Chains A and B, each alone.
Chain A
Amino acid sequence: MTRLYRLLLHFYPTSFRLEYGEEMKALLAERAAGLGPLGRARLMLGAVAETIPNALAAHASILAQDLRYTARTLSRAQGFALTAVLVTALGVGANTAAFSVADFVLLRPLPYPEADRLVKLFEGSADGSGFNELSPAEYRDWKGMNTTFQAMGAYTDRAVNLTGAGEPQRLQVAAMTPELLPLIGVSPLLGRVFHPSSHGEEDLHTVVLSHGLWQAQFGGDAGVLGRSVNLHGTPHEVIGVMPPEFNFPRREVQAWLPLAFHEDDFVDRDDTYLKGVGRLANGVTLAQARADLTVVTTRLGRDYPQTSGGTIPFIFALQDEVSQQSRVLLLALCGASLCILLLACANLANLLLARAGARARELAVRAALGAGRERLVRQLVTESVALAAIGGAAGVLVSLLAVPLLARLVPTTLPIAGRPGLDLRVLATAALFTGLTGLGFGLIPALRVGGRTGFAGLREGARSGGAGRQRLRGLLVTLEVAVSVVLLISSGLLIRAIWVLQATDPGFTPQNVLTLRTALPRPKYDSPLRRTEFYDRVLRDVRGLPGVESAAYITGLPMVMTGGIWGVTIPGREAPRDGGDGVSLRFVTPQFFGSLGIPIHRGRDVDDGDTGDRPFVAVVSRSFVRQHWPDEDPIGKQFQVAFQPRTVVGVVGDVKVRGLEQRNEPQVYLPAPQVPEGGLIAYDPKDLVIRHAGKDATLLPAVRRIIHAADPAQPISDVRPLAEVVAGETATRRAQFLLLGALAAVALLLSGVGIHGLLAYTVSQRSHEIGVRLALGARPGSVARMVLSEGMRLALLGLVPGLLGAYAAARGMSALLFGVQPADPATIAAAVLVVLLMALAGCLLPALRAVRVNPMQALRAE
């Protein structure tokens, strides 16, 4: 019975047990004396029942005592407490935020049932040079001939005009084969999706709304089912509404239309515009599916060598649809935030080590006064945990602020819902890291007290430090310097990349150009005459507005419309098979080149005389001439594009159609009216560009009035200055730089604090020695030099591994660097300089303090 009670006593705090355990055991024994077995059992049961609440209360009272003591000691060391909390908060916060976003984009499974079986399908070229969408014929054949897919569907992105439900509006939609929505496996919130067996016919004029559109345009009215809405002038019946978390294929898509094929859609195998989506049969791996479809493409390549020769299937998991750039960026972010966590831990360790030295005497005194080791350890643990908890709480605040900022890096092209939230697992992990660091290094002083007799600590006095600990602290500072060098160089390289990018000439002058979109709906505008009438009227009236220098229509703005590639054939030359002669094809009205400031090098602009009944002409860019007629006069040359032979009448400057960072195809511009019979709907000019004299608030309303007068049902969308489009090209880069830059600044700050802390501590510990030196005639200058050289030595030591790490990091993120070399000398020099300056700044105060040591005081203090 006594043995059981002894065990029970372990629930009490050790100090309590040591003090009263024996008494309590004796008491129990006394009570038990003279009791029968039943009485003893009852006594024991009572003892068990009373131990728990009493032990808890004893623990609570000690905790309260320790917390009060912690509050007192920390308020006496406010600088230390504040720094420790700040360091922890930054470490925990930056980490949690970065990993939350990265996890959201890279790791989190898509919100579809068995999403790991969903794949995207494209045709790739055998030489691995890229991949393309599928043609309807290819899609049909892949679907019919494969043996490894449970289902296959396809979609294409479209934009349609919505009229008859409030303000005319332009919608981003996905037109999809009827099997696609059921294949993904998400049930509609309301109504139904397209019948998978219908081949699209019976659902032809139906539409499924996104939750966002349903809320915005129809007020979330459940009665919307069965209602008819006008899309591109044709009535469509609303048959369903998808749930809010359904964002397939992209977040911007607002509605889904059925996509049906007719026999003639299957004729042209070069007409590739379908993105394939498949669900693998149960147990089929990606590799098996790839092998299966390779058999299919090989057969198709034999049957249609002209169009399908040399193609292979290009399959990847829907999950992996993240661009290389985004992936690298997020990984860089994670790396950077790991660095920050490392720095935070190193700094915290350093702070606590310094404090341990300063407290050795206090603890020795307390031990001498009878505090048991257990009580001291307990007190220190309470202190560390309290610090970590405050720091962690501040860290949560930091990450709450940071996650929305980082969320802007999430590509909008992914089929995932809006915004990442705070990841609690990550938060817990980061908190655990810093907590353990705090605990581990916070306990050092107590271990020292326990490790030797308390009086040694007293005798050693305030000069205790220990060479080993000092070396460890030096190592930590070196590590901090190295990490901040890595971060500084990485963000420096990104700045360089932005500079290079901004210095890139887009090929046009974006300033003072207003753009907006009026996409003419079919079949209302099937007649080319009607379209020309609209363009002529709008352009005539806009050009008549005060302050307008010129105005024109084009198929799509550079950097906005990046596709629209068409193969050309030059008479008398063999058509290359690899499609390497594709051009960016655009239809324009007169004045387009003037409006965008694209120089006309030879010949003329398209003009009003280039109508549908006149000879078909073309204006080409310089690179087109270089490619096809390097040594000849291009004017008057003929080539075939968009089903018609065309004659070159002008040569203009090249434009970065795909964006500042991309390689661009040569450009071919055709007069708007010169389209083949029936027109090319996708190439209808729809973007209006207006070059104006400068800021004028009346311009846009006036243009709106003009368009409304020309066609009241015509929606206007995408109103923005062209300069904004170009700025958007560098916006992601700016976000990248701001992020890494912020992390680098934090790192710099942390290592500055580290160097400062270490030296300040060293000086305070050595003030006795410094005093002796000064008393013996050392000059203040040499004392300051001693402190400075100590700090700079650590900084230089940290530079070496830092530079190596930075080079490795830069090579890893070369995809983000836009041609800037990973070992860019200017960047490295700048980063090294900044780090050295930071180290110097960190040394400054301690050096000053060393110089100001008063020899008399320092000697008397002992």
Chain B
Amino acid sequence: MSPDAAEIAAFLPLPPATFHILVALAAGDKHGYGIIQDVEARTDGGLRLSAGTLYRTIQRLLEQGLIVEPRRPAGSGADPRRRTYRITPLGTLVARAETRRLAQLVRLARGAGLLAPEPS
């Protein structure tokens, strides 16, 4: 049973930190520090998530079912103290919907002449 549009729309708009975390996880499972590094790299150092913000968001995303903590494969050699997180199909859908929403906004701004036309 796939979630309907209304259910997804209820998550939007996403807070910036949430969106960035989902984007980071969309590229692959990561642990907390990995997420922070990823976000920092993508934004060229523009956004540095604090530990509190990161884990509060993670807690909420877990509750909402947008991410999960996958069972660690035994003997994978990973640091046992580190928990990794994985985006769920619902999380992917939500992140996509948010991306579309933002793209729509960019198009609007462009139409109003606020931004140079898209290079074709």
Q: Enumerate chain A interface residues (CB-CB to B < 8 A).
A: 12, 16, 19-20, 22-24, 26-28, 30-31, 46-47, 50-51, 53-55, 57-58, 61
Contact = CB atoms under 8 A, between A and B. Distances in A.
A295 B104 CA distance: 101
A352 to B, nearest CB: 30
B51 A27 contact: yes
Interface string B56-93: 10111000000000000000000001110000000000
13 contacts: A20-B58, A23-B81, A23-B83, A24-B32, A27-B32, A27-B36, A31-B33, A47-B51, A50-B52, A54-B56, A55-B52, A58-B52, A58-B56
Contact of B52 (A26, A54, A61): A54
A24 B51 contact: yes
B50 interface: yes
B80 to A, nearest CB: 11
A23 B52 contact: no
Contacts of A50: 50-53
A171 B119 CA distance: 95
Nearest to A20: B55
A723 B58 CA distance: 80
A22 B81 contact: yes
A461 B71 CA distance: 34
A58 B59 CA distance: 10
A129 to B, nearest CB: 80
A3 to B, nearest CB: 16
Most chain A beta carbons < 10 A, residue from B52, B60, B83 = B52
A745 to B, nearest CB: 50
B59 A19 contact: yes
Contacts of B56: 16, 54, 57-58, 61
A54 B57 CA distance: 10
A65 B50 CA distance: 24
A24 B36 CA distance: 12
Contacts of B36: 27
B59 A16 contact: yes
Contacts of B51: 24, 27-28, 47, 50
A23 B59 contact: no
Interface of B: 32-33, 36, 50-56, 58-60, 81-83
Given A23-B82, A54-B56, A30 B50 contact: no
A61 B81 contact: no
Contacts of B59: 16, 19-20, 58
A646 B47 CA distance: 111
A24 B52 contact: yes
Contacts, number: 50
A16 B56 CA distance: 8
Contacts of A46: 50
A55 B51 CA distance: 11
Contacts of A22: 81
A1 to B, nearest CB: 13
Nearest to B35: A27
B53 A54 contact: yes
Contacts of A24: 32, 51-52, 55
B22 to A, nearest CB: 18
Given A19-B59, A20-B55, A26 B81 contact: yes
Contact of A23 (B32, B50, B53): B32
Nearest to B55: A20
Nearest to B48: A46
A47 B50 contact: yes
Contact of B60 (A26, A53, A61): A61
Contacts of A53: 52
B17 to A, nearest CB: 11
A12 B33 CA distance: 20
A27 B52 contact: no
A224 B59 CA distance: 74
Contacts of B50: 46-47, 50, 54
Nearest to A30: B33
B58 to A, nearest CB: 8
A50 B82 CA distance: 22
Given A26-B33, A31-B33, 7 more contacts: A16-B56, A23-B55, A24-B32, A26-B81, A54-B50, A55-B52, A61-B60
A455 to B, nearest CB: 26
A680 B19 CA distance: 99
A22 B81 CA distance: 8
Nearest to A11: B52
A388 B56 CA distance: 30
Contacts of B32: 23-24, 26-27
Contacts of B60: 61
A46 B52 CA distance: 11
A27 B30 CA distance: 13
A57 B17 CA distance: 14
Contacts of B82: 23, 26
Contacts of B55: 16, 20, 23-24
Contacts of B81: 22-23, 26
A495 to B, nearest CB: 62
A23 B56 CA distance: 12
Contacts of A54: 50, 52-53, 56
A19 B60 CA distance: 13
Contacts of A31: 33
A28 B32 CA distance: 11
A31 B48 CA distance: 11
The 4 closest A-B pairs by CB, nearest first: A54-B52, A50-B50, A20-B55, A24-B51
Nearest to A51: B52
A31 B50 CA distance: 11
B72 to A, nearest CB: 14
Nearest to A5: B51
A50 B55 CA distance: 12
A785 B53 CA distance: 64
A109 B60 CA distance: 57
Contacts of A12: 52
A32 to B, nearest CB: 12
B87 to A, nearest CB: 18
A520 B82 CA distance: 102
A57 B60 CA distance: 12
A80 B33 CA distance: 49
A590 B74 CA distance: 119
B62 to A, nearest CB: 10
Nearest to A46: B50
Most buried by A among B56, B58, B81, B83: B56
Nearest to A8: B52
A55 to B, nearest CB: 7
Contacts of B83: 23
Contacts of A61: 56, 60
A278 to B, nearest CB: 69
A425 B37 CA distance: 55
A376 B28 CA distance: 36
A54 B60 CA distance: 13
**A54, A55, A58 interface centre (most CB from chain B within 10 Å):** A54
Contacts of A58: 52, 56, 59
A369 to B, nearest CB: 15
A50 B36 CA distance: 15
Nearest to A28: B51
A24 B83 CA distance: 11
A51 B56 CA distance: 11
A22 B55 CA distance: 11
Nearest to B79: A26
A57 B54 CA distance: 13
A464 B53 CA distance: 43
A19 B58 CA distance: 11
A399 B40 CA distance: 59
Contacts of A23: 32, 55, 81-83
B24 to A, nearest CB: 14
